[in-house]
Amino acid sequence: MVVGQKARIDGVVYEFDQKGIARKVLNPNIVPVLAPTTDLSEVTDDAA
């Protein structure tokens, strides 16, 4: 488990702290760590 790792479950974003406890992230508009160069607006438009 990576500290600060975020996971999206059913549209809710969780962030894991140092103890590995998942906490809800109030602002889900975060840039995916695995794809920092991805333009989310383009992805959303293509998916729609």
Only one residue has tokens 């140092």, namely 18
Strand, coil or helix: 30: coil
Q: DSSP state, 6?
A: E
* pLDDT for the residue 33: 59
pLDDT at 38: 52
**3-state SS, residue 21:** coil
State the pLDDT at residue 19: 80
Residues of the chain with pLDDT under 50: none
Please calculate the CA angle 10-34-13 and round it to the nearest 5 degrees. 25
Note whether 5 and 14 are within 8 A (CB). no
Q: What is the pLDDT of residue 34?
A: 58
User: Is pTM beyond 0.85 here?
Assistant: no
How is residue 8 written in tokens? Answer: 């999206």
